[in-house]
Amino acid sequence: MSKCEQCIVREFSSLKALSKDELLKLADCKTSHTIKKGEVIFGEGENVNGIFCIKKGVCKLTKLSPNGKDQIIKLVTKGELLGQRSLISEEPVNLSAVALEDMEVCFIPKTEVMGFFDKNNQFSMNVMKTICGDLKEADGHMVDMAQKSVKERLAETLLHLHDTFGVNGDNSLKIQLSRDELASMIGTATESCIRLLSDFKKLGIIELVGKKITLKDINKLKRIAE
């Protein structure tokens, strides 16, 4: 079992405010889990009663729309926490979290986390800042959906995947999403997404091999996204 005080999640998340004693306490109460690609970490409407620390891997946060399709809200990767908002609001989670690749996560029960809220002011502030950041991101996404074309949103999303998650040795995007998932991220029909990817390929902006996408002309993508 890994030590909480040496864990990557602690360096990048709200947990960085915890003292060594608090981290040792955390290590005693957490449970570690391996989540296989495609498995659900939690489902929309569940009472999670704690937070998940992502130690390795990437998951998608999705919301079920009225037409029965999953809309991808965001992708979350190692070093981040899941479930902070529902912990504070004391409501069931309003999104589902599904592994996009094999993951390692730790679960910390609510009782323990709430103890940190009571005793560690900086931890409370960090959690609030994270939630405020999520809200700001959601506002930006809402404006993009309303004001940008699907073409602009696709270019922006490809750049986001490149900048946030990096590339493989062959320069293809590290995060491999299905065409359905990509369409869901930009808020369009799968057919439209496939057609736009094909257009980008013809223009020499990207290269497509199966699920693999390689960005060939980042500057041109940036011009389209803006």
**CA pseudo-torsion sign 8, 90, 29, 100:** negative
Q: Which fold has domain 4-145?
A: Jelly Rolls (2.60.120)
The CA distance from 223 to 225, in Å, is: 6
pLDDT one-digit tens code per residue, 144-190:
888 899 999 999 999 999 999 999 999 999 998 999 999 999 999 99
**What CATH code is assigned to 148-225?**
1.10.10.10
What is the domain partition of the chain in residue ranges?
Answer: 4-145, 148-225
> 1 pLDDT exceeds 60?
no
In the predicted structure, residue 27 carries a pLDDT above the cut 60: yes
| pTM (2 d.p.) | 0.87
Share of the chain above pLDDT 90, in %: 68
* pLDDT value at residue 2: 60
Burial string for 158-193 (b: 16+ CB within 10 Å, else e) reads bbebbeeeeeeeeebbebbbeeebbbbbbbbeeeeb
